[in-house]
Structure 1
Amino acid sequence: MIKQENKISIIGSGFSSLSAACYLAKYGYEVVVYEKNKTIGGRARQYLNDGFTFDIGPTWYWMPDVFEKFFADFGKKPSDYYKLEKLSPAYQVYFGKNDSIVIPDNFQEICDVFEKEEKGSSKHLIKFMKSAEDNYDIAVKDMVYKPGVSPLELISFKTAVRLSQFFSTIRKQVRKKIKSEKLIQILEFPVLFLGAKPSNTPAFYNFMNYADFSLGTWHPVGGMYKVIEGMSKLAKDLGVQFKTNVTINSIEVDESNKVSGMQVNGERVETNLILSGADYHHTETLLPTKFRQYSEKYWSNKTFAPSSLLFYIGFDKKLKNVCHHTLFFDTDFDEHAKTIYDNPSWPEKPLFYASFPSITDDSFAPENKEAGTILIPLAPGIEDTPKIREKYFNIVIERLEKLTGQKVRDSILFKESYCVNDFIKDYNSYKGNAYGLANILTQTAFLRPKIKSNKVNNLYFTGQLTVPGPGVPPSLISGKVASELILKTRK
């Protein structure tokens, strides 16, 4: 019989929560996961409509080694749960009408693409990527698995000799040798996964370029939700229980500053340890005021990664001149970025990203039809109305038609939108952010909100608002780090 002190409640069922649930169950805890929506997966849910399938949230599968490491910790492989295909090409970037660069699926061909665009640039790219690989080995294989408890976690000989990279930026590093604006944008693009501007992101984070060009872009057949299904099957096999359609109304703390229970759908549930993978700010609002670590002022002063306006579209034909992942960088990135980070507002000329998974995977759309997801990054907390959404839908469809040289509007069978208000409603997301806290220098590692509450002895956090940061692979890592900290502090 499992002792009462070995029972753990996890709030939320996104990647970080599922990861933590698996590890904690492996360590011998009885784990129950509580999810407010009707299906598990957090932001990584699915939208199904008339034979079409859409990943509502993440659509990129990068850093496959992190997924492999996760499953290996349980004696498994990703292939035990889902099939992976490497995308070839990896993605396409549009800079103007009939003006695009296609990124191949191997580094030598990428060098050839760079050389064709700017003579001599491949030499600089090779040197840049060597630095990126070295940083990847330090960051992703070591640093990101630290719990963010102390600044000493970042200090080693390897990081000391790279100290200058923490005080320079990706933008400065990329622009030292490369002159082509197109190539610069391609090299600056991966740090958008960290939720910050290249001008604010430490140069050390060029390891994302290694993830891009060397490790490649992959696709789980059936979509990212297949990863969720795989992780949930592993969790269930380890004894984890899932409860969906539940709302956590409050968290109760006893006189010894310990969690004693939760109000779940209006009924009290006893628990003596909570790990929240839900929005950090929202979770703290479930506590009595005196037990909240971070004030409203604290959160309002933080730099958040973007929110998004998304459109899920069913097309009545196959589209031309696009790849599975297609980026539209035909407008000024810096001007768009200002509306996200400097002056929160709707961008006049937005950059956008489109995913057409049915190009790769027939399961996403009926025969001779196309499933498309379009995403515009936005400042969290801005006004969100049906009228504004429609305005921006027209903008991106017109640009899509113009840039790719084809008519698509008349072939739209349906569209569904998702924006700031939906992130708040479905995920209790602070200001409707989509990706958590940006990974800038002042919000790195021990400078992020803590995994362990310093006011409630048995309350912990995981996910994109704590260590290590935004993205799916970091969320898997966050779940492991949180579970290990629980194990260490509970001994």
Structure 2
Amino acid sequence: MKKSITIIGSGFSSLAASCYLAKEGFDVTILEKNSTVGGRARQLIKDGFTFDIGPTWYWMPDVFEKFFDDFGKEPSDYYHLDKLNPAYVVYFDKLDTIQIPDNLNDIFDIFEIQEKGSSKHLESFLNNAKHNYDVAIKDLVYRPGISITELITPVTIKKANQFFSTIRTSVRKNIKNNRLQQIMEFPVLFLGAKPSNTPSFYSFMNYADFGLGTWHPKGGMYEVVKAMYLLALELGVKIKTNQNVEKINVEKGVVKSVVSNGEILYSDVVLSGADYHHTETLLDEKYRGYSEKYWDSKIFAPSSLLFYVAFDKKIKDVSHHTLFFDTEFDVHAKDIYDDPKWPEKPLFYASFPSKTDDSVAPEGQEAGIFLIPIAPGIEDSPEIREKYFKNIIERFETLTDQKVIESILFKESFCVKDFINDYNSYKGNAYGLANILTQTAFLRPKIISKKVKNLFFTGQLTVPGPGVPPSIISGKIVSDLIKKSFDKTSL
């Protein structure tokens, strides 16, 4: 008799885990709260426009390749990838930009133009970053976060100082140009923490940026979700949508079933890829591994105010990915991490996927996604959303020297309340726990329940952390632990 596994949620980590577990012979069922799979990586389709609601950056292509290769597949079996050139553009002032090319030699040239001699410092920095990438992505991130000993290897001992210094210190040691500093500090924002709080070992994100490049799956990031969904179905995974899990039942310390839409569903194992804090609220209090005080004490990655905007014309002087650094990042960061409140002058990001992908907008028109990072848990109202849209769109017009407001066909927004309502996200966070030193590896919430046998967790609140590639890796890690907990001959 096959052992049955119920997976709560269908985000990247859940889909990855379901594939690995089904391949090993488990009877796997996914229960998804929403009407479509993908968790935070859903789509908005309206009037011929297609928007990725969640992630828009495709970094670390090797992680995706490794996942599909584990099943004898390739990403190209499911979707087409294009490498973006420029990878992204950064605005500092009106029509004042730096473009990041798709290859290192051109990036070195860009740096040299901005600061004489900086390219040699960048090359040295990236050599170390590549080594960190090889150590992290090919080894450390696949460890389950059970013990500190996982981090103690001959290589990490040599790099111990990089866990106690910061990205900001490393970046600014030799490169003095403020614009270049901001560009080099930008990638760690994907880890959900300030550069001044992120260990310098995480420079591997700079190698992911400059060394591996920025890619785009034609049709958007949801094509990756669809690929993993199709693979899961090929492997025999059962996927049910519109399933709201209301309770996890435990008997004598062993998980027995879940209650979804009022129906009891029995299972040998329950794996949650849903919000970790929310999942524990589905348990009787005595079975919860972490208290409310624990969660309140954690440093969370930002939430986001997002706008999905359809334009009736093509937008000039922007790239597929465009960053707007025309205000002070450190001031904005304080409003996220130190004194949580709405920022007065927020930095923002805009994605125009229709610049490189004609499938996401009607001919001659443009799909735009705008994002402002904000503190989780702050007030969210239609009035506040509208105020901030006006703020960024007016700055956008000034910085790019064009009128766009009158060309808006429609816009939709997504913010703290939506993260809570749609994903049961703790305080409406968008990216999980920040990857600071005290929340790294074995210091993150555990993949294996501390109090309930056969209850497991996966996703951005546990190891290895926030982001799409880490979520896929998290699914691999938890599936390995589940497999080890059962005798394969009993499946």
**Counterpart code for 1:55:** D
Match of 2:185 in 1: 188
What is the CA-CA distance between 1:146 and the residue it aligns to?
A: 0.1
**Contact 1:104–1:110 (Cα < 8 Å) also in 2:** yes
Match of 1:107 in 2: 104
**Counterpart code for 1:33:** I
CA distance in 2, matches of 1:490, 1:448: 25
Match of 1:331 in 2: 327
Match of 1:446 in 2: 442
Mapped pair 1:232 → 2:223: no
**Counterpart code for 2:255:** V
Match of 1:350 in 2: 346
Mapped pair 1:268 → 2:294: no
Match of 1:318 in 2: 314
Match of 2:292 in 1: 296
**Contact 1:22–1:238 (Cα < 8 Å) also in 2:** yes
What is the CA-CA distance between 1:228 and the residue it aligns to?
A: 0.3
User: Which of 228, 240, 244 is the matching residue for 2:241?
Assistant: 244
What is the CA-CA distance between 1:98 and the residue it aligns to?
A: 1.2
What is the CA-CA distance between 1:49 and the residue it aligns to?
A: 0.8
User: Matched residue of 2:72: which SS?
Assistant: coil
Mapped pair 1:385 → 2:381: yes
Q: Percent identity?
A: 69
CA distance in 2, matches of 1:132, 1:114: 17
**Counterpart code for 1:79:** S
**Counterpart code for 1:397:** I
Mapped pair 1:160 → 2:157: yes
Alignment of 1:192-231 (within 5 A): 192-231=189-228
Query: How many aligned residue pairs are there?
Result: 487
**Contact 1:445–1:468 (Cα < 8 Å) also in 2:** yes
User: Matched residue of 1:394: which SS?
Assistant: helix
Question: After the TM superposition, which parts of structure 1 deviate over 4 Å for at least 4 consecutive aligned residues?
Answer: none
What is the CA-CA distance between 1:258 and the residue it aligns to?
A: 0.7
Mapped pair 1:368 → 2:367: no
**Counterpart code for 1:348:** E
Match of 1:429 in 2: 425
Q: What is the TM-score of this pair, normalised by structure 2?
A: 0.99
Alignment of 1:26-65 (within 5 A): 26-65=23-62
What is the CA-CA distance between 1:420 and the residue it aligns to?
A: 0.1
CA distance in 2, matches of 1:222, 1:7: 34
CA distance in 1, matches of 2:450, 2:381: 39
**Contact 1:365–1:371 (Cα < 8 Å) also in 2:** yes
Match of 1:80 in 2: 77
Match of 1:476 in 2: 472
User: Matched residue of 1:364: which SS?
Assistant: coil
CA distance in 1, matches of 2:222, 2:401: 32
CA distance in 2, matches of 1:163, 1:487: 32
Match of 2:113 in 1: 116
User: Matched residue of 2:485: which SS?
Assistant: helix
Match of 1:66 in 2: 63
Alignment of 1:83-102 (within 5 A): 83-102=80-99
**Counterpart code for 2:245:** I
Match of 2:460 in 1: 464
User: Matched residue of 1:310: which SS?
Assistant: strand
CA distance in 2, matches of 1:477, 1:260: 27
What is the CA-CA distance between 1:426 and the residue it aligns to?
A: 0.2
CA distance in 2, matches of 1:324, 1:285: 40
User: Matched residue of 1:278: which SS?
Assistant: coil
User: Which of 386, 393, 399 is the matching residue for 1:403?
Assistant: 399
User: Which of 234, 251, 254 is the matching residue for 2:251?
Assistant: 254
CA distance in 2, matches of 1:471, 1:368: 32
**How big is each residue's C-alpha offset from its partner over 1:175-205, in whole Å with a ceiling of 9 and x where there is no partner?**
0000100000000000000000000000000
**Contact 1:249–1:263 (Cα < 8 Å) also in 2:** yes
What is the CA-CA distance between 1:454 and the residue it aligns to?
A: 1.4
Mapped pair 1:418 → 2:375: no
**How big is each residue's C-alpha offset from its partner over 1:383-407, in whole Å with a ceiling of 9 and x where there is no partner?**
0000000000000100100001100
**Counterpart code for 1:334:** D
What is the CA-CA distance between 1:269 and the residue it aligns to?
A: 1.0
User: Matched residue of 2:220: which SS?
Assistant: coil
Match of 2:128 in 1: 131
User: Matched residue of 2:459: which SS?
Assistant: coil
What is the CA-CA distance between 1:348 and the residue it aligns to?
A: 0.2
User: Matched residue of 1:318: which SS?
Assistant: coil
What is the CA-CA distance between 1:271 and the residue it aligns to?
A: 1.1
CA distance in 2, matches of 1:272, 1:130: 47
**Counterpart code for 1:430:** Y
**How big is each residue's C-alpha offset from its partner over 1:360-410, in whole Å with a ceiling of 9 and x where there is no partner?**
000110010000000000000000000000000000100100001100001
What is the CA-CA distance between 1:350 and the residue it aligns to?
A: 0.1
**Counterpart code for 1:274:** V
**How big is each residue's C-alpha offset from its partner over 1:245-303, in whole Å with a ceiling of 9 and x where there is no partner?**
01101000012x11111111011111121000000000000000000000000000000
**Counterpart code for 2:200:** A
User: Matched residue of 2:359: which SS?
Assistant: helix
**Contact 1:328–1:353 (Cα < 8 Å) also in 2:** yes
Mapped pair 1:488 → 2:487: no
**Counterpart code for 1:108:** N
Q: What is the TM-score of this pair, normalised by structure 1?
A: 0.99
Unaligned stretches of 5+ residues in structure 1: none
Unaligned stretches of 5+ residues in structure 2: none
Match of 2:451 in 1: 455
**Contact 1:258–1:272 (Cα < 8 Å) also in 2:** no
**Counterpart code for 1:183:** L
CA distance in 1, matches of 2:486, 2:437: 31
What is the CA-CA distance between 1:489 and the residue it aligns to?
A: 2.1
What is the CA-CA distance between 1:488 and the residue it aligns to?
A: 1.2
CA distance in 2, matches of 1:37, 1:169: 39
CA distance in 2, matches of 1:490, 1:164: 39
User: Which of 7, 10, 17 is the matching residue for 1:10?
Assistant: 7
CA distance in 1, matches of 2:271, 2:133: 29
**Counterpart code for 1:258:** V
CA distance in 2, matches of 1:391, 1:270: 48
What is the CA-CA distance between 1:441 and the residue it aligns to?
A: 0.2
What is the CA-CA distance between 1:71 and the residue it aligns to?
A: 0.3
User: Matched residue of 2:473: which SS?
Assistant: helix
